[in-house]
Amino acid sequence: MTSHTLPKLPYAYDALEPYIDAQTMEIHHTKHHQTYINNLNLALEKHPEFSDMTAENLIKNIGSIPEDIRPSVKNNAGGHLNHTFFWTIMRPPTEKGPEDGLIKTVNSTFGSLDGFKDLFTKTALTRFGSGWAWLSVTNLGGLEIHSTTNQDNPIIEGLVPILGLDVWEHAYYLKYQNRRQEYIENWWKVVNWDQVTENYQKAVENIKPNI
């Protein structure tokens, strides 16, 4: 049986300064993300036959997880999956935006990159309580902006996330307190658009022709 472990960040805790501060990054990674992993491992100890499944597969097959641990697996495998993803779609600030097929689809779907950012920001702002805002690829290859509650992941709805924003207060409270809008506006400066473009290409390639 293998247990889930905390992935290393692909950059230093202070790499996203001044937009996301080092203390927030360190606590978010070593305390919040680690706690999801600890609680997931604890739940899976009761049913070790599921301990070799990835967080993604646990979420995709949540209906077949035993009922006594299902709520815990849903929250904690979800938290592990979401945060593992979140770290990869940020990087030290650059001027680079989305490229190739992604920027074309963003423009044709939302009018412009700014139009997309406005709508995504609005979605992230109006997510009541704790949750995430997402840009996902639909099963027809289109782009959809949406939000989820708690640690739910778009794959539950049959969507493939390519960009996600954590709007739990723990993601921004130390620096921004209640100012979620300011957090979101500054977060755009550290989005890793190369990774998001790659996520888009992979998601589109994986769509099976529906013939």
Which chain residues interact with Mn ion by CB under 5 A? Answer: 166, 168, 171
73 vs 166, beta carbon nearer Mn ion: 166
Q: Looking up tokens 């689809």, which residue turns up?
A: 105
152 vs 166, beta carbon nearer Mn ion: 166
**Shortest approach of Mn ion to residue 167 CB, angstroms?**
9
By beta-carbon distance, which residue lies closest to Mn ion? 166
**Shortest approach of Mn ion to residue 32 CB, angstroms?**
5
Amino acid in the structure at residue 90: M
81 vs 102, beta carbon nearer Mn ion: 81
DSSP labels, 91-104: -S--S----HHHHH
Instruction: Report which of 53, 64, 96, 102 is spatially closest to residue 202, judged by C-alpha positions.
Output: 102
Distance CA 171, CA 76 (A): 17
Q: Looking up tokens 């937009």, which residue turns up?
A: 19
Q: Give the E-state strand segments of 45-182 in sequence order.
A: 131-137, 143-149, 160-166
Distance CA 177, CA 23 (A): 14
**Shortest approach of Mn ion to residue 12 CB, angstroms?**
19
87 vs 168, beta carbon nearer Mn ion: 168
**Shortest approach of Mn ion to residue 26 CB, angstroms?**
13
82 vs 123, beta carbon nearer Mn ion: 82
DSSP labels, 103-116: HHHHHHHHSSHHHH
Question: Is the dihedral angle over the CA atoms 26, 169, 186, 114 positive or is it negative?
Answer: positive
**Shortest approach of Mn ion to residue 82 CB, angstroms?**
7
